[in-house]
Amino acid sequence: MAASTGMRMYDVIIVGAGPAGLCAALYSSRSRLSTLVLEKARPGGQASTTEWLENYPGFPKGVKGPELMEFFAAQAREFGAEIVKDEVVSVHFSPERKAVRTAKGGEYAAKTVVLCPGAEPRTLGLPGERELRGKGVSYCATCDGDFFTDLDIVVIGNGDAAVEEGMYLTRFVESATIIVVHDEGVLDATAIIRDRAFKNSKIKWIWNSVVDEICGDGIVKSVIIRNIKTNERTEFETNGVFIFVGTVPKTDFLRGAVEMDERGYVATNERMETSVDGVYCAGDARAKYLHQVITAAADGAIAAVAAEKYIHEEEGFREMVLEPASPVMVCFWSPASRESLDFMASVERIAEARAGALVLVKIDVYRNRRIAGRYGIKSLPTLAFFRGGQIVHKVEWPTTEEEVVAAAEKVVGRR
């Protein structure tokens, strides 16, 4: 690892420039945090390969995916976020320093990291699928649609993405046959999309069926379709196979670094905090209920605000409590705790009597939950004495001034 001296320390490094990463970059750069975004491709993520978004608010007639993402990137840059084209291949997190390494051999360090690696289309692992990718098998309608002008294709999948992309493809193709595992008329897609698709004369349907195999010699020629009710297998001639069966998070490079679920989605709480302090996750790679551009953007905003609070909380604590050479008496209190409010006058008297030898720092545990948690503060008030960055004595829930005086004398001696 390169020496930390001389390397620039960013406030926030954002991994990935899809909607989540760009929105995190907007919020963090607008809060005057130095912000670096690392993105392996062009900013925009999966939203850039979506021709048209009808459900992103603010655009009553809809908006093109790539255009919206250019707006996102421009707005983040407006406030000073730096977007660098490079792929993060590994991460190294320690409490003081989070470092990331890139495919081009770069290393960057920051106080906090927001992980927004996103997701990619899921593959099915069908015989022929891998061999014929780019030769008729596709996962991207906007990329490959015009190859299939006046040709016939099949679509695998029946959720919103599959049906919408199928409809998009009917601009080019002669026919798009959607192969659906459910009974006739039943789709996973939402009603508005389903009704539109049923009215589209270029869309054909094959019900109760799955694709077992994709066949071709250098180029797709047919698929083997199996009816799941009768188990009957039929060969169906086609020029292309578009597969839209959900996505998988791109989190392999994070294995072992942050907690994730069995499918590889990163676990966070509602503040987007991962299992590592100062590391956040936002967008499609996060385990959550709804993966959309709008929810990714919301995640990004929350993560950036949480990162900002983390930096202020940690830096404030370090400067006021951990770094001073002389002893520090920390009073953990909360406006919601009557006992801690009532006791504050005593605490202030004790500190005043030892001015020059003991510094008082008051920490509101509601604003500084992480620090309170780290030192195991359960009841309020709690007095904690620090010297040289270490906690040397703790008095939990004192009821008399004398208890605290005795503790202070242990730390700084009798006056």
Partner 1 sequence: MIQVDKVNFEEEVLQAEGPVLVDFWSPNCEPCMALLPDIEALEKKYGDRIKFCKLNVVGNRRLAISQKVLGLPTICIYKNGEKAAGLTGEEASAVGIEAMVREHV
DSSP conformation class of 163: H
From 30-38, 40-48, 255-263, 292-300, span contacting partner 1 (CB under 8 A): 40-48
Among 7, 9, 40, 170, binds partner 1 (CB under 8 A): 40
DSSP conformation class of 122: P
CA distance 360 to 346: 12
CA distance 332 to 87: 43
- Closest contact distance (angstroms) between CB of 200 and partner 1 is 21
Please say which residue, 41 or 406, places its beta carbon nearer to partner 1: 41
Please say which residue, 128 or 398, places its beta carbon nearer to partner 1: 128
Note whether 74 binds partner 1 by CB under 8 A.
no
Site string for partner 1, 190-229 (x = CB under 8 A): ----------------------------xxx---------
Note whether 38 binds partner 1 by CB under 8 A.
no
Give the other-Cβ count within 10 Å of 259's Cβ: 14
The sign of the dihedral angle between the CA atoms of 400, 406, 411, 413 is: positive
Residue 131 gets the label, from left (phi > 0), alpha (psi -120 to 50) or beta, of alpha
Q: Give the distance from CA 339 to its chain's centroid.
A: 40
- Closest contact distance (angstroms) between CB of 114 and partner 1 is 21
Please say which residue, 133 or 204, places its beta carbon nearer to partner 1: 133
H or E element in which residue 196 lies: helix 191-199
Among 135, 312, 369, 393, binds partner 1 (CB under 8 A): 135
From 42-50, 158-166, 253-261, 328-336, span contacting partner 1 (CB under 8 A): 42-50
Is 261 exposed, middle or buried, given 0-12, 13-18 or 19+ CB atoms closer than 10 A?
Answer: exposed
First-last CA distance in the chain: 50
- What is the residue whose two structure tokens read 């929105």? 23
Residue 194: both structure tokens together: 């389903």
The residue ranges of DSSP E strands in 318-404, in sequence order, are 328-333, 359-364, 382-387, 390-396
Among 110, 114, 115, 137, binds partner 1 (CB under 8 A): 137
Please say which residue, 85 or 369, places its beta carbon nearer to partner 1: 85
From 139-147, 193-201, 319-327, 384-392, span contacting partner 1 (CB under 8 A): 139-147
Please say which residue, 149 or 234, places its beta carbon nearer to partner 1: 149
Note whether 271 binds partner 1 by CB under 8 A.
no
Q: Contact at 8 Å (CB) between 280 and 268?
A: yes
From 142-150, 222-230, 292-300, 346-354, span contacting partner 1 (CB under 8 A): 142-150
Residues that bind partner 1 (CB under 8 A): 40-42, 44, 48-49, 66, 85, 87, 103, 120, 133-140, 142-149, 218-220, 239-240
